[in-house]
């Protein structure tokens, strides 16, 4: 069965600090990988996704993530966070053989101090 | 612009009541999903549907049922609401022709069962 593990439940950073949120998944086959973000009071929305090609993917607002197949990881990074990045971030995985079913991690709440 | 709407943002119901949560999407997506979101647990899949009148159980279907009579509408039903069903409920949709199965989310319904 698929599973997703996010390493940190709460992260507090100051503005301009670098961010890395860890995500590991458990699935033996080909995967699609996602990071979703939920800003306070807003819908959950896609931040970035990987489904093939270059393992380093870039998303909106300066975020990027790297798929490392050998480590079953898909960590999210941003070189310099802003106060407006305060949100909850969810890693998600869709195993190709699982069809349309996507499994989400528990989420990481990021608070950026101005 | 992609849009998923949910019938209520906030709902308060009594134990034992029958509860209907409605979701409508206007993107002509084949797949629709119901999740519940709880702090520290992320999003957990209740049911999903990949076609009209078709449904599949997710990870936590107990106490819930669904209905999909039209492509654009997916309803979640709590036959007899209980206090442990107090949660945020998220509806999502995705196109089948997409190679990556990214999902589009509604704003959520915060249900309180007293």
Report the alpha-carbon distance of residue A109 to residue A11 in Å, rounded: 6
Asked whether the beta carbons of residue A107 and residue B96 sit closer than 8 angstroms, the reply is no
Is B36 domain-assigned? Answer: yes
Q: What's the average model confidence in pLDDT over A14-20?
A: 97
Q: Which domain holds residue A38?
A: 3-113
Q: The CATH number of the domain where A35 resides is what?
A: 2.60.40.10
* Domain-located, residue B86: yes
Are A44 and B90 within 8 A, CB to CB? Answer: yes
Give the pLDDT of residue A29. 82
A102 contacts in chain B (CB < 8 Å): 45, 101, 103
Domain that holds residue B57: 4-98
Q: How many domains does chain B have?
A: 1
B75: CATH: 2.60.40.10
CA distance A93 to A105: 9
pLDDT tens by residue, A57-85: 999 999 999 999 999 999 999 999 999 99
Q: What is chain A written as a DSSP string?
A: --EEEES-SEEEEETT--EEE-EEEE-SS-EEEEEEEE-TTS-EEEEEEESSS-SEEE-GGG-EEEEEGGGTEEEEEESS--GGG-EEEEEEEEEGGGTT--EE---EEEEEE-
Asked if the structure places residue B112 within a domain, the reply is: no
* Domain assignment of residue B108, yes or no: no
Q: How confident is the model at residue B100 (pLDDT cuts 50, 70, 90)?
A: low
Bridge pairing between strands A31-38 and A44-50:
antiparallel
pLDDT at B10 over 90: yes
Residue B23 maps to a domain: yes
CA distance A114 to chain B (A): 25
**Of the partner residues B4, B45, B100, the one whose CB lies closest to the CB of residue A101:** B45
Tell me: the pLDDT tens digits for B36-76? 999 889 999 999 999 998 999 999 999 999 999 999 999 99
Number of domains in chain A: 1
């Amino acid at each position: 069965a698929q599973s997703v593990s996010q390493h940190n439940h709460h992260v507090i950073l100051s503005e301009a600090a670098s961010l890395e949120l860890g995500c590991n998944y458990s699935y033996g086959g080909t995967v699609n990988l996602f990071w979703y973000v939920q800003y306070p009071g807003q819908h959950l929305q896609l931040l970035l996704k990987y489904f093939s090609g270059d393992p380093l993917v870039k998303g909106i607002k300066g975020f990027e993530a790297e798929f490392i197949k050998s480590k079953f990881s898909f960590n999210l990074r941003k070189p310099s966070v802003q106060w407006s990045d305060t949100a909850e971030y969810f890693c998600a995985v869709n195993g190709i053989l699982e069809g349309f079913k996507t499994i989400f991690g528990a989420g990481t709440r990021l608070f950026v101090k101005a | 612009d992609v849009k998923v709407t949910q019938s209520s943002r906030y709902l308060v119901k009594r134990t034992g009541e029958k509860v209907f949560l409605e979701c409508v999407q206007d993107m002509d997506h084949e797949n629709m999903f119901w999740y519940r979101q709880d702090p520290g647990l992320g999003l957990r899949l209740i049911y999903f549907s990949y076609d009209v009148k078709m449904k599949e159980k997710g990870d936590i279907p107990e106490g819930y049922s669904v209905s999909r009579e039209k492509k654009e509408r997916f309803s979640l039903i709590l036959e007899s609401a209980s206090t442990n069903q107090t949660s945020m409920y998220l509806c999502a949709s995705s196109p089948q022709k997409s190679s990556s199965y990214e999902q589009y989310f509604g704003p959520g319904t915060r249900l309180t069962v007293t």
